[in-house]
Amino acid sequence: RRVAVLISGRGSNLEALADHAGPYRIVLVVSNKPEAPGLDLARMRGLPTLALSSRGLDREQFDRRVGDAIEAAGAGTIVLAGYMRLLSPAFVRRFAGRILNIHPSLLPLYKGLDTHARAIAAGDTEAGCSVHLVTEELDSGAVIAQARVPIHEGDTPEDLSARVLAEEHRLYPQAVSDFIRNGSGC
């Protein structure tokens, strides 16, 4: 039930996770960007934070430090919330089946970046967000929850992003709660 949240930026999903009364407790917020606004949101809520710069470290070394901090905090589940750094295979293996991510598309559509612009360019009438288990391949693990929104005529990527983000804030705390209740996390 102890969860670590990994961020790199704004932290609006972290905020939604922290403000949701669920069966989990956020015991650590890690950012690979010391200037991430999400760190302030965490501190304002009294959550323990760790800002780790990756300068001078290779991916494995950096991830080993992050993993050690997560274990020291006693977190059994890792929740990625706008964490814009690829995880090393060693890290994914270390926490196999216990890492979740939220991606702003209806996976398996639009893995990677610029999901909203790509959905609009394709003429899709629907978009959404997906919560999935993290595996070594980017945005490719099993999807455990999805939410859908319409794409309206004339939508800009920013319009769509805002519509999807509102759903992310609803979906992610719910999906993390379900994941933990079903005993998949410790």
Which are the catalytic amino acids? 103
- What b/e string do you get for 4-22 counting C-beta neighbours within 10 Å, with b at 16 or more? bbbbbbebbbbbbbbeeeb
4, 12, 39, 66: which one binds ligand GRF (CB under 6 A): 12
Burial of 161 (C-beta count, 10 Å sphere; 0-12/13-18/19+):
middle
Closest residue to ligand GRF, judged by C-beta, is 82
Establish whether 84 is an annotated binding residue.
Answer: yes
Smaller CB distance to ligand GRF: residue 7 or 92? 7
Stretch that binds ligand GRF, among 2-10, 23-31, 44-52, 63-71 (CB under 6 A): 2-10
Q: In one letter, which amino acid is 148?
A: R
* CA angle, residues 48, 101, 62, in degrees to nearest 5: 60
13, 32, 49, 77: which one binds ligand GRF (CB under 6 A): 13
Residues 46-105 that bind ligand GRF (CB under 6 A): 81-82, 102-104
DSSP 147-171: EEEE--TT--HHHHHHHHHHHHHHH
Q: What sections of the chain are H helices per DSSP?
A: 12-19, 37-44, 59-72, 89-94, 115-121, 157-181
Please tell me whether residue 91 adopts helix, strand or coil conformation. Answer: helix
Name the phi and psi angles at 182, rounded to 5: -75, 5
Smaller CB distance to ligand GRF: residue 144 or 165? 165
If binding is defined by CB under 6 A, does position 128 make contact with ligand GRF? no
Work out how close the CB of 183 gets to ligand GRF at its nearest, in angstroms, rounded to a whole number: 26
Work out how close the CB of 162 gets to ligand GRF at its nearest, in angstroms, rounded to a whole number: 10
9, 22, 48, 97: which one binds ligand GRF (CB under 6 A): 9
Establish whether 185 is an annotated binding residue.
Answer: no
Establish whether 11 is an annotated binding residue.
Answer: yes
Binding site for ligand GRF (CB under 6 A): 7, 9-13, 38, 81-82, 102-104, 129, 165, 168
